[in-house]
DNA sequence: CGAATGCTTGAGCTAGATCAAGTGTTGTGG
DNA sequence: CCACAACACTTGATCTAGCTCAAGCATTCG
């Protein structure tokens, strides 16, 4: 039964599901799920890259630290997102749970081997990498914008990625947002207050946001 | 003779040459070479991504512009570098010749088709994308550093990538450097002057740099 | 040779950082 | 249920790195 595990895979192009299901749903890859408490490390910079990860629940930050302690959060990952894929043999950054999280582990070697014989798996690997690249470039573009533009873009991004509704909950503290946007927590806080004063958003609680006027934020997005 | 064009390709892992030769050296992909004058457009943002490109000579910048004219140069490409690979159907940025350049064009469709049947081509595509990703992330990290750190990192990067020697020629004007580093031309200029005052570098001409003390620059790299 | 273009230098100015209190909010032990 | 840490966030006052605006040099090109 598992003799030719991929024989019935969908046709080529359509096989790239938005959630990269092929990569993580195939029993043969031996995925296991683990739970992480808030702030627990999932992997560290420089460690051997043995797995590919998928967020089942919770949220994850991937970051790098400079020698003097400055930290850059390069991405947040939410349920359904795949992360930790490295072409090199070790992780270029560290990953931690932002909030309590369940993470699915998939053995990297199993995937790379499968991609040798199975074009759909190879395509999904390329797709995951390409999506990361698109994100990384957008993030780079963010970093040349003004504080208002960065915070607005961040809110819109999170809004779009979270289980929808006018209101949503930011899973991460201000420190993480600041390090993601290349700002200080004070500037993030002040900017959110400005948006609230201008009635574009409402902070029901410090992490609970209501987007009263998404288009006002979008207008800031140069 | 061209019946099984890839039958004699090198073994799997070693097939990923540093220059991605497989992608661009195979006659079947029908590569042609074109010349571009300084500042000529190679492709524009939003255009259909029909080709993959390789710099034969000269240099290329890839950039995006915000609605108000701010520009971010996301990468420079030097001889041997491959660029312009998109997973989506259109280019996410624009590419221009920084200096007169010869560019090899390879049909994207030919490559994607070849990658279906040839694992080595598929692997090189993944490797090219992964390298871009690594660059994009490093570039993001750059953008949170101080002006001195950014300029130092830029000089070291260029030094490493150019045909070596203590002295080397920057192919691009200050404007491009500034937009790559997220600084103004004035700040780039002042920072270079500082480095010259501290004897770390010598500007033989405004674009000709001698790295007297690379380790002084490296020390700035937090 | 003059004009255009690219680079440097100078003199303020300002967005965002830093330093320093507050003000919630959450959790813990009594 | 309250007290009191411990933590996360906000707000205020000041400072500064890098920006802006404005000249002045230096190359290159017609």
Quick: pLDDT tens for B168-208. Answer: 999 999 999 999 999 999 999 999 999 999 999 999 999 99
**The pLDDT of residue A22 is above 80:** no
Interface test with B, best of A144, A153, A218 (most B CBs within 10 A): A144
Q: How far is the CA of B186 from the C1' of D22 (A)?
A: 12
Beta carbons of B122 and A127 less than 8 Å apart:
no
Cβ neighbors of B212 (< 8 A, separation 6 or more) are: B166, B199, B200, B201, B202
Looking at the predicted structure, is the pLDDT value of residue B15 above 50?
A: no
> Searching chain B, which residue's CA lies closest to the CA of residue A126?
B126
Rounded to the nearest integer, the mean pLDDT of chain A is: 88
Q: How far is the CA of A28 from the C1' of C16 (A)?
A: 51
- Quick one: pLDDT at residue A121? 87
Residue A5 reports pLDDT greater than 80: no
Q: Measured between alpha carbons, how far is A73 from B140 in angstroms, rounded to an integer?
A: 10
Q: What is the mean pLDDT of residues A175-184?
A: 98
The beta-carbon neighbor of A136 closest among B66, B115, B136 is B136
pLDDT above 50 for B99: yes
Give CA–CA dist A7/A4, Å, rounded: 6
Q: Which of B103, B98, B106, B96 is nearest to B56 (CA)?
A: B103
- Does pLDDT of A185 surpass 70? yes
The pLDDT assigned to A88 comes to: 87
pLDDT at A147 over 70: yes
User: What's the whole-number average pLDDT of chain B?
Assistant: 88
- Closest C-alpha among A107, A108, A83 to residue A94: A83
DSSP structure class, residue A145? S
Kindly state whether A66 is in contact with chain B, defined as any CB-CB distance less than 8 angstroms. Answer: yes
A113 token code pair: 């081997």
Of the pLDDT bands very low, low, confident and very high (cuts 50, 70, 90), residue A222 is confident
Average pLDDT of A138-147? 98
* Average pLDDT estimate for A158-163: 91
Q: What are phi and psi of B31, to 5 degrees?
A: -65, 140
> Which protein residues have Cβ within 7 A of any strand D atom?
A 173-175, 185-186, 188-190, 192-193, 203, 206-207; B 146-148, 182-184, 186-187, 205
Token look-up 């009263």 returns A212
- Least confident segment among A86-90, A210-214, B35-39: A86-90
Picking from A86, A129, A143, the nearest residue to B144 by CB comes out as A143
Q: What is the pLDDT of residue A75?
A: 98
* Span B49-76, pLDDT tens digits: 999 999 999 999 999 999 999 999 999 9
Establish, for the pair of chains A and B, how many residue pairs have beta carbons separated by less than 8 Å. Answer: 99
Residues of B within 8 A of A94 (CB-CB) are none
Q: How confident is the model at residue B12 (pLDDT cuts 50, 70, 90)?
A: very low
Residue owning tokens 């938005």:
A18
Rounded to the nearest angstrom, the gap between the alpha carbon of residue A6 and the centroid of all alpha carbons in its chain is 28
Give A30 or A53, the one with higher predicted confidence: A53
Residue B143 is nearest to which of A64, A92, A143, comparing CB atoms? A143
The burial of B130, by beta-carbon neighbours within 10 Å (0-12 exposed, 13-18 middle, 19 or more buried), is given as buried
More confident residue, B79 or A9: B79
Checking if the pLDDT of B19 tops 60, the result is no
């Amino acid at each position: 039964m598992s003799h030719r595990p991929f024989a019935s895979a969908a046709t080529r192009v359509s096989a790239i599901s938005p959630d990269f299901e092929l990569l993580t749903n195939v029993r043969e890859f031996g995925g296991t799920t683990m739970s992480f408490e808030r702030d627990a490390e999932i992997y560290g910079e420089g460690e051997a890259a043995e797995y590919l990860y998928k967020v089942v629940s919770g949220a994850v930050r991937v970051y790098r630290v400079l020698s003097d302690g400055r930290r850059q959060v390069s991405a947040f990952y939410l349920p359904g997102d795949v992360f930790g894929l490295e072409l090199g043999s070790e992780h270029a950054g560290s990953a931690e749970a932002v909030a309590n999280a369940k993470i699915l582990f998939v053995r990297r070697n199993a995937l790379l081997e499968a991609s040798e014989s199975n074009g759909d798996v190879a395509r999904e690997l390329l797709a995951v990498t390409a999506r990361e690249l698109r994100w990384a470039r957008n993030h780079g573009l963010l970093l040349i914008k003004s504080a208002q533009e960065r915070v607005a873009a961040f809110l819109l991004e999170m809004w779009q990625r979270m289980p929808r509704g006018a209101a949503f909950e930011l899973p991460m503290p201000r420190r993480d947002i600041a390090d993601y946007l290349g700002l200080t927590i004070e500037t993030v806080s002040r900017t959110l207050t400005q948006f609230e004063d201008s009635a574009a958003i409402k902070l029901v609680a410090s992490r609970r946001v209501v987007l009263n006027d998404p288009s006002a934020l979008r207008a800031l997005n140069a």
